[in-house]
Chain A
Amino acid sequence: MNLNLTLVGQAISFAIFVWFCMKYVWPPVIAALDERSKKIADGLEAANRASRDLELAQEHAAQLSRESKENAAEIIEQANKRANQIIDEANEQVIADGKRLREAAQVEIEQDVLRAKEALRSQVSVLAFAGAEKILGATIDEKAHSEIVEKLAKEL
């Protein structure tokens, strides 16, 4: 247990080792550690942000789907309304058409009746003359009596 120069030698080597460690070992390692912890903190923050974003996006998506459902319902309702309207219109059209056709037919029938009456009327006088001739046995002066007959015919 002699105290000797070893003490000084140890102190010197100790000082050199500490200096070396301080200069070349400690700073890079600590810098890397700090950088990594910063990276981790950033990563965690990014993850938080991402989950928040996801939440927002989900909310947005839910809202969109709700809106589109409402839109769809509205469109369907309008379409239904429109369809009903078209059907109603068609019905009315059909009824109107029928009515018009019926009226036209009626008018034609009436005209036909009138025409038939006219034709009959014109032939009544001929028949009446023929009948009278047979009854009287003589020729009737057509000109003299046609007035009477025509009067008669008009009364028909």
Chain B
Amino acid sequence: MAIESPTTSAYIQHHLQNLTFGQHPDGSWGIAHSAKAASEMGFWAIHLDTMAVSIALGVLFLWLFRMAAKKVSADTPSGLQNFVELMVEFVDGSVKETFHGKNKVIAPLALTIFVWVFLMNAMDLVPVDFLPVVANWVGVNVFGATDGHVYFKFVPTTDVNATLGMSLSVFALIIYYSIKVKGVSGFVGELTLQPFGKWMIPFNLLLEGVGLLAKPVSLALRLFGNLYAGELIFILIAVLPWGLQWALSVPWAIFHILIIVLQAFIFMMLTIVYLSMAHEEH
């Protein structure tokens, strides 16, 4: 381990800290060199690692798919086109099963969610120290940071900001389509006039409001929680003596392959379900 931490808990903490850029309490802008400094930056800070990795993966996804889409033909497909068609058909099938209206956004949205979230989750399978070590080396040698104070969290979906960012976008779409399909009055009516009729409006509003707000929160926290826990277990395994690590990390990684696909799929499916609910009249 290049990042020699004095204690196990410091090592774990180090791995769970994002590379944060923001305004220090003293007014200067810069990268936080400790967890405390990062949290002192408050809301107006940004996680450079999360952003960089997620955007890189998003670009990778779109580059790959765009390349296949440009050369796509109805003749016998091969190689990349096969893979892309497989994904597109899978997502298209899932969307058509659940959502019966006409909407041009939902299917590409679902595809983007599935592949992007899958790629971000898949970063979990990269051994926990590989990329932080590279980042540390770059940080120390290129940017002149102090050794051991370069943070780099490589799995964007273990950052609640990333998952919440997506789920809030989905939430915005839910509200947009609810209003577009049912009108403002229809949407408000849906929130207030059921399940108990017009004499229980405050109670209905509370019930439906909680239900509505729970959607993005549960969407974000489910993904975040699964991946965070998975990553944490990888980190804990990495604390073990090096000769023993493979015995635990290999089975966990294999199991994790299931989790990363499943979580990406769940995020996609729930998005489709929520959006199709937004399209349906009660």
Q: Is A152 in contact with chain B by the CB < 8 A criterion?
A: no
A17/B112 in contact, CB under 8 A: yes
A33/B85 in contact, CB under 8 A: yes
- Name the contact of B74 in the complex, choosing from A10, A26, A39 (C-beta under 8 A): A39
Interface size class of A (residues with CB under 8 A): 20 to 34
Known contacts: A4-B44, A5-B46. The answer to whether A35 contacts B74 by CB under 8 A is yes
Q: Is B107 in contact with chain A by the CB < 8 A criterion?
A: yes
Count CB-based A-B contacts (< 8 Å).
133
> How many Å from the CB of A64 to the closest CB on chain B?
41
> How many Å from the CB of B171 to the closest CB on chain A?
10
Interface size class of B (residues with CB under 8 A): 35 or more
Q: Is B78 in contact with chain A by the CB < 8 A criterion?
A: no
CA of A110 to CA of B159, assembled, Å = 148
Contact with B along A23-66 (1 / 0, CB 8 A): 01110111111011001000000000000000000000000000
Q: Is A137 in contact with chain B by the CB < 8 A criterion?
A: no
> How many Å from the CB of A5 to the closest CB on chain B?
4
Q: Which residues of A come within 8 Å of B, CB atoms?
A: 1-11, 13-15, 17-18, 20-22, 24-26, 28-33, 35-36, 39
10 interchain residue pairs of minimum CB distance:
A10-B165, A6-B161, A22-B108, A35-B74, A26-B108, A6-B47, A32-B72, A11-B165, A36-B74, A28-B69
Q: Which residues of B come within 8 Å of A, CB atoms?
A: 18, 20, 22, 38-39, 41-47, 50-51, 54-55, 58, 61-62, 65-66, 68-70, 72-75, 84-85, 88-89, 92, 104-105, 107-109, 111-112, 116, 156, 159-162, 164-166, 168-169
